[in-house]
């Protein structure tokens, strides 16, 4: 009942799942256009994790990599949840 009222009063989008599905479809189509296979996306995700985790404590399970399309072309977008800075290392 509260979900219905929230939707009715404009507090929550009525078709959130449809919006999420549409966004995922767009991401898949863009990745297909750029011609990145799931294996390549996993390799990119692994490399980004490997590099960033040298300096930050990163939640690897929540790391998200997407290819997005804008008026300027395609962009790789990384959402990297950081727990805290990693211990200082001497390089």
Residue 25: inside a domain, yes or no?
A: no
Instruction: Tell me the pTM.
Output: 0.55
Number of folded domains in the chain? Answer: 1
Residue 59: inside a domain, yes or no?
A: yes
Q: pLDDT grade, residue 14 (50/70/90)?
A: low
Residue span of the structural domain in which 62 resides: 38-83
Residue 61: inside a domain, yes or no?
A: yes
Residue 22: inside a domain, yes or no?
A: no
Summarised one tens digit per residue, pLDDT across range 18-60 is 777 776 666 666 666 667 788 888 898 899 999 998 888 989 8
Residue 5: inside a domain, yes or no?
A: no
Q: pLDDT grade, residue 10 (50/70/90)?
A: low
Residue 9: inside a domain, yes or no?
A: no
Question: What single string gives the DSSP state of each residue in 5-72?
Answer: HHHHTTSS-TTHHHHHHHHHHHHHHHHHHHT--HHHHHHHHHHHHHHHTTTEEE-GGG-EEEEEEETT
């Amino acid at each position: 009942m509260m979900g219905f009222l929230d939707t009715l009063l404009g507090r929550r989008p009525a078709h959130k799942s449809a919006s999420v599905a549409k966004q995922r479809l767009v991401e898949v189509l863009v990745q297909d256009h750029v011609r990145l296979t799931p294996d390549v996306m996993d390799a990119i995700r692994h490399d980004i994790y490997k590099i960033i985790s040298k300096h930050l404590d990163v939640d690897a399970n929540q790391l998200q990599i997407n290819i997005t399309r804008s008026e300027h072309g395609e962009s790789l977008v990384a959402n990297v949840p950081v727990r805290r800075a990693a211990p200082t290392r001497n390089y």
